[in-house]
Amino acid sequence: MAKQSSFGNMLVVLTVITVITGALLGYVNNITAEPIAQSKKQKQEKAVKDVAPEFDNSPIDEQYIVTVNDLELKVFPAKKEGKNVGAAVESKTKKGFGGEISVMVGFNIDGSIRNYRVLSHAETPGLGSKMEEWFRAGKGNQSILGKNPSTDNLTVKKDGGSIDAITAATISSRAFLDAIANAYAAYINNDAATGATAQMGKETSHE
């Protein structure tokens, strides 16, 4: 009987501990969820401001989704005095050497690339990770800034394009430029008036 009593007491104690732990985790999640969400929004707002043309609206509040190659991309319309002046697109690709790459790309009203910010990636440090600066540098044919995907072949030279790949990181370069292409597809196929979700077909891979 003593053994059964001890076992029963142990179960009660474990149950109480589990309940208390669960309650504490729930409490912690509740008090940290809002600060985390706010921090994410602030980073998003900064990225949009960094890449989009000057605006006086709230692109974050007016954002909507455009589907490109089975990827849901966020479009942040930039407006000034009620007129569209371009947009920022939170784009991504799953073709990176280390997995998914996320990039915020800013477009002028004519579709030319104003700026970009790499939001996240898992590429090799010192190689693929150079994408943050490589494709804005003025050396050779590295920069994509000011170029328009509708008239410029923004793929690596190895694939017949006009862009110099990151040295020893061709796969990462292809992936980055794929994210740029996805962003442009979202930009030109959006419905800025209604925010309707568009559907884009799959594109041919350059791999």
Based on C-alpha coordinates, what's the Rg of the chain?
Answer: 23
**According to the model, what pLDDT value does residue 203 have?**
38
**According to the model, what pLDDT value does residue 207 have?**
35
**According to the model, what pLDDT value does residue 4 have?**
56
110-132 confidence digits (pLDDT tens): 999 999 999 999 999 999 999 99
**According to the model, what pLDDT value does residue 3 have?**
53
SS (H, E, C) the chain: CHHHHHHHHHHHHHHHHHHHHHHHHHHHHHHHHHHHHHHHHHHHHHHHHHHCCCCCCCCCCCCEEEEECCEEEEEEEEEECCEEEEEEEEEEEEEECCEEEEEEEEEECCCCEEEEEEEECCCCCCCHHHHHHHCCCCCCCCCCCCCCCCCCCCCEHHHCCCECCCCCCHHHHHHHHHHHHHHHHHHHCCECCCCECCEECCCCCCC
**According to the model, what pLDDT value does residue 206 have?**
33
Mean pLDDT by 10 residues, the chain (207 residues): 65 84 79 74 92 97 95 97 97 97 98 97 94 91 97 97 97 98 92 43 37
**According to the model, what pLDDT value does residue 66 have?**
95
**Predicted model pTM:** 0.77
